[in-house]
A and B are shown apart, each in its own frame.
Chain A
Amino acid sequence: MIVLPVIARELRASARQPMTYYVRVLGAGAALGACLSFGMDQDFGPNMGGELFGTLHIFVFWAIWIFVPFLAADCISRERRESTLGLLFLTRLRGKDIVIAKGFAHGLRAATLSIAVLPIMAIPLLMGGVSLPVAALSTLINLSALCWALSAGLMASSWTKSRVGALMGAVLFAGLALILMVATTARLAFTVTPISLVNSSDLSFLEWCGETFALLGGNGIKEISSRMGSPNWPSGPLPIGFWRGFTPIKIPFGFIGHVSWMVSELAVFSLLALLLAIWLAGRKTRASWQEKPPSVARLWWAKTFCTPRLWTSLLNRWMQRKLQKNPIGWLEQRTWSGRLVTWGWLAVLISVYSAVLTYPHFFREEDQFHSAMAWMLAGSVALSAAGSFRRERDSGVMELLLVSPVNEWGIIFGRVRGLWAQFLPAFALLLGLWAYLSHLDYGVVGDHHSNSFVFFTSSFLCLPIIGLYYSLRFRNFMSAFISTLLVGLLLPQILPGLLAYILGMLLPGLDLTIPTYFHFTGTSVVVAFQLILTLKCLRSLHHRLQNRTFSFERTAR
């Protein structure tokens, strides 16, 4: 087989990457965390296995959608960047052979992640309450998700040469693949299964897609597991979720059988979708492996939409001022893409808020909406920060900066200020709108709002520092990004509770109630942890820069 040497090379390369092992440990750790959190919430009682299995299914499903496209995103684009793709094409390999090899290797990599999670998945099986059909259903859904997610990653990777472009493409293709997966499942439920599972008079196709989405990646498996034991299932009263759309079928295993049939068909379609993606990605790879000058259309786009046209002298003066004041921060805002992040976020916030304010139920779900926007913005800060020093490290400019009069602290705070300046308009607008709308709604800015303000303000200040540390610490961008999210956002939320839980177990008589000197006591602890972690990262970042203990990937002459 001609693809075997490429697969072997890919597997060997990924075996040498620490990221491969980190992801496995992280996956297993997170699954264990989800399991413990379930236990702390609902106790590991008898017959709770079904519910726990459903929780873990949700976890695995979303882990596949988050990790697989990102891990596969740079596999072909990297070859193109490093000019090794051309060498592969000098052999007898064809485009699709390369994509098959890459797809196989990355599929296997994702499968090892599932194997790492397998021992945790065995816990609910041992607890009882999980039937074989439900386990098979979950496996088929996750297998299908793997095919779609891998397709998204491979497509994104074949489309571009740049790492950032591939990652952004992976997000877009993954979103598209998820929609396609849900729509395919919904369509299969309508027409392809032996009987229609849908009581079509009750629901439109779009609504049914929503219900299918709940089955695939929401509480569907949990619901099926927990209710399968019930004698009148599923024809009895079905209070919530996707059940309301199903045709009542009297025999429980008949119902699960039909759902399984539908999901089996989904798995076959997913496999076909993966094959189609491989074919398309192969064609694209073959067609674009050679370096070509940018096309006329591309140049026109760049000139028309990516070049300053209005008030250019003002922009130049402004950028010169920024350069003089903070050259390291200036690098963040120098390019049109850097400025697009700043003003794009501002435009998104203005557009989204303008749109949702006219939605009649907005004020009922207002807090969740503000929080969702703030989390996304925080994620965007983490993304920018985690990739921030990478370019300097790869190009060797970091070495030049370190022998210039800008010292280590100058480099760190110059870049941190640059990142703050990049996201400040969006954050200020978001928090301002949040405070204003809460005030409109409640008359005052409530405690829970204050808590959120404090947390997100602290996140805005801390994430750039944590992200910079990890951008220097890790060669792999994904490792840096995940670590930034973990240390900057997740750990500060988990650590206080975990610490209190452990202390409570070790010292049963200890009163762990936090004194309520302020309104936002819980948040103050979270923020304190966030600040401690940030200071630790700042110290380590300075230490690494001072001792030059960071890896270079310089382009030699």
Chain B
Amino acid sequence: MSTETAPPIPAVQTHGLTRMYGSIAALSGLDLTVNKGDLFGFIGSNGAGKTTTLRILATFLAPSAGSAQILGYDVVRDADAVRHVIGYMPDFFGVYKDMEVTEYLDFFGACYKIPTAQREKTVNDVLELVGLSEKKGSLIGALSRGMQQRLGLARVLIHDPQLLLLDEPASGLDPRARIEMMAILQELQRLGKTIIISSHILSELQTLCNRVAIIEKGRLIYSGPVQGVRDQMSQGRVIWVRVSSDSAKAIELLKSRTEIADAAASDGEIKVTLAGTDPDHSIVADILVHGGAKLIELREDEIGLEEVFMRVTRGETQ
């Protein structure tokens, strides 16, 4: 019996996507692929081109050059079809503050041509999904930021889109609201939605997303699995070592090997910098044990998404 998994089906594909604002290129030839079912993190500094990309995918902006397909539909030629399959949540609330929660969702339901009879049930369902059932009759202006954010998510889900484009959905939320928002997104992924999420809170994207893209000055720097970008950045990985015996001797031992780029004492520990990209760092333990040093602790200074982001970007904007 074959154990091969089916090849991933692309939900979003962009080819040479470019957007100019006058002489300034907000996006320069972006090639991006997001597969169906992905929870895709879109990372970049302010002004890097994330919002522009999401706006093009949402059919709000037309690209100056290049193309983008969403579930096989071209965002320019088949904009109407694209609008039915996407849900776009911009980086602002976009609410009528004097409307009631259900009224607001009812309005957008009508915009998506959901029949009146079906709308009430749909509104109730999405409110339940985002945990706002108890606020049905409340005025939107009276809701907290977190609740307004959730309402925004409920609006995105009202027509049951297959792809969600979420621009900074967790910005400005308190830790509890953020965690709840992330839990909802995981639940949506479990329900089979493809989600593209742009965020500055990289620690959360790291645990939430299966794939990420890093963009700077409108250009794609990396796109792929989260672990992949860590590995790619692992050159010069750092291992921290604690020995009970003479640490100077241990440093000597480590420095004598070509696999080790550097070793130095630091706060009672030894900071070992590996020379290669081999993810296996047992070589450090081997050297020390065979050299007669008594190893107490060995831990990798794991590179996080934030560290990766800081290494690959310079924070430059257009």
Chain A residues closer than 8 Å to B228, beta-carbon distance: none
B93 within 8 A of A: yes
| B111 in contact with A404 (CB, 8 Å) | yes
Which of A330, A405, A555 gathers most chain B CB within 10 Å? A405
Stretch at the interface among B53-61, B180-188, B238-246: B53-61
Chain A residue, CB-CB nearest to B145: A557
- Are B111 and A406 neighbours in the complex by a CB distance under 8 Å? yes
Residues of B within 8 A of A555 (CB): 92-93
Residue of B nearest to A320 (CB): B116
Q: Do A399 and B112 have beta carbons less than 8 Å apart?
A: no
Chain B residues near A401 (CB, 8 Å)? 111
Contacting residues, chain A, for B88 (C-beta < 8 A): 400, 403
Interface assignment of B95: CB less than 8 Å from any CB of chain A: yes
Which B residues form the contact surface with A (CB < 8 A)?
A: 58-61, 80, 83-84, 86, 88, 90-99, 103, 106-108, 110-113, 115-116, 145, 149, 155, 168, 171-172
| Candidate in B96, B110, B168 with the most chain A CB atoms within 10 angstroms | B110
**B interface, by DSSP: helix, strand, loop or mixed?**
loop
List A contacts of B108 (CB < 8 A): 400, 404
Of A396, A404, A406, the residue contacting B90 (CB under 8 A) is A396
The digit string for A385-408, where 1 denotes a CB below 8 A from any CB of B, is 000000100011101111111110
CA A335 – CA B96 in complex, angstroms? 12
Are A399 and B94 in contact, with the CB atoms below 8 A?
yes
- Are A397 and B94 interface neighbours, CB within 8 A? yes
| B60–A399 touching, CB < 8 Å | yes
Cβ of A556 under 8 Å from chain B: yes
Q: In the assembly, what is the distance between CA of A323 and CA of B110, in Å?
A: 7
Nearest CB in chain B to that of A401: its residue = B111
Chain A hits for B83, CB < 8 A: 403-405
A201 at the interface (CB under 8 A from B): no
The 7 closest A-B pairs by CB, nearest first: A396-B94, A327-B110, A554-B92, A557-B172, A404-B111, A396-B92, A403-B58
Q: Which residues of B contact A402 (CB under 8 A)?
A: 60
CA distance A557 to B60 in the complex (A): 20
Produce 1/0 per residue, A327-356, CB < 8 A to B: 110110011000000000000000000000
Interface status of A324 (Cβ within 8 A of chain B): yes
Q: A330 contacts B107, CB within 8 Å? A: yes
Task: Establish whether residues A391 and B96, one from each chain, have CB atoms under 8 Å apart when the complex forms.
Answer: yes
Given contacts A404-B112, A548-B61, contact A557 B94 (CB under 8 A): no
A399 cross-chain contacts in B, Cβ below 8 A: 60, 90, 94
Given contacts A396-B90, A404-B112, A555-B93, 7 further A-B contacts (CB under 8 A): A327-B107, A331-B107, A395-B94, A396-B93, A400-B88, A548-B61, A557-B172
CB distance from B74 to the nearest CB of A (A): 15
Cβ contact within 8 Å between B61 and A405:
no
Q: B95 touching A397 by the CB < 8 A rule?
A: yes
Interchain CA distance A557-B173 in the complex, whole Å: 9
Residues of B within 8 A of A327 (CB): 107, 110-111
**What is the minimal beta-carbon distance from B226 to any residue of chain A, in angstroms?**
26
Number of interface residues of A (CB under 8 A): 27
CB–CB A403/B60 < 8 A: yes
- Distance, CA A331 to CA B108, complexed state (A): 11
B80 partner residues in chain A, CB cutoff 8 A:
405, 407
Distance, CA A407 to CA B113, complexed state (A): 12
Distance from A303 Cβ to chain B, minimum over Cβ atoms (Å): 14
29 contacts between A and B (CB under 8 A): A320-B116, A323-B107, A324-B110, A324-B115, A327-B110, A330-B110, A331-B96, A335-B98, A395-B95, A396-B90, A396-B92, A397-B96, A399-B90, A399-B94, A400-B88, A400-B90, A400-B94, A401-B111, A403-B88, A404-B108, A404-B111, A405-B113, A407-B80, A548-B60, A548-B61, A554-B92, A557-B145, A557-B149, A557-B168
CB distance from B121 to the nearest CB of A (A): 14
Contact partner, B84, options A331, A391, A405, Cβ 8 Å: A405
Question: Could you tell me the distance between the alpha carbons of A405 and B92 in the complex, rounded to whole angstroms?
Answer: 20
Within 8 A of B (CB), among A250-288: none
Q: How far is the CB of A341 from chain B (nearest CB, A)?
A: 16
Inter-chain CA distance A12–B80, complex, in Å, is: 45
Quote the shortest CB–CB distance from B103 to chain A (angstroms). Answer: 8
Measured CA separation A275–B299 after assembly (Å): 75
Which residues of chain B have C-beta atoms less than 8 A from A406's C-beta? 111
A404 and chain B: residue at smallest CB distance: B111
Question: A331 vs B98: C-alpha distance in the bound complex, in angstroms?
Answer: 11
A400 proximity list for chain B (CB < 8 A): 88, 90, 94, 108, 155
CB-CB nearest in chain B for A326 = B110
Contacts of A330 in B (CB 8 A): 107, 110
Separation of A328 and B113 alpha carbons in the complex (Å): 12
Q: For B61, give the chain A residue with the smallest CB separation.
A: A548
- Residues of chain A from 502 to 557 with CB closer than 8 A to chain B in the complex: 548, 554-557
Q: Which residues from A are CB-within-8-Å of B94?
A: 395-397, 399-400, 554
What is the minimal beta-carbon distance from B140 to any residue of chain A, in angstroms?
Answer: 10
Are A324 and B111 within 8 A (Cβ)?
no
Q: Separation in Å of the B115 CB from the closest CB of chain A?
A: 8
Beyond A403-B60, A548-B61, is A557–B91 a contact (Cβ under 8 Å)?
Answer: yes
Cα of A513 to Cα of B116 in the assembled complex, Å: 57
Q: Is the CB of A323 within 8 A of B106?
A: yes
Quick one: closest B residue to A322, CB to CB? B110
- On whether the beta carbons of B171 and A405 are closer than 8 Å, the reply is no
B19 CB → nearest A CB, Å: 12
The answer for the CA separation of A391 and B80 in the assembled complex, in Å, is 25
Give Cα A399–Cα B83 distance, bound, in whole angstroms: 13
Min C-beta distance of A524 to chain B, whole Å: 39
* A405 to B108 alpha-carbon distance, docked (Å): 10
B112 — which chain A residues lie within 8 A by C-beta?
404-405
CA distance A397 to B92 in the complex (A): 10
Question: In the bound complex, what is the Cα–Cα distance between A529 and B95 (angstroms)?
Answer: 39
Whole-angstrom CA separation of A403 from B79 in the bound complex:
9
Residues of chain B within 8 A of A323, CB atoms compared: 106-107, 110, 116
Report which residue of A323, A401, A407, A557 has the largest number of chain B beta carbons within 10 angstroms of its beta carbon.
A557
Smallest Cβ-Cβ distance to A405: which chain B residue = B83
List chain B residues, Cβ under 8 A from A403.
58-60, 83, 86, 88
Q: How far is the CB of B126 from chain A (nearest CB, A)?
A: 15
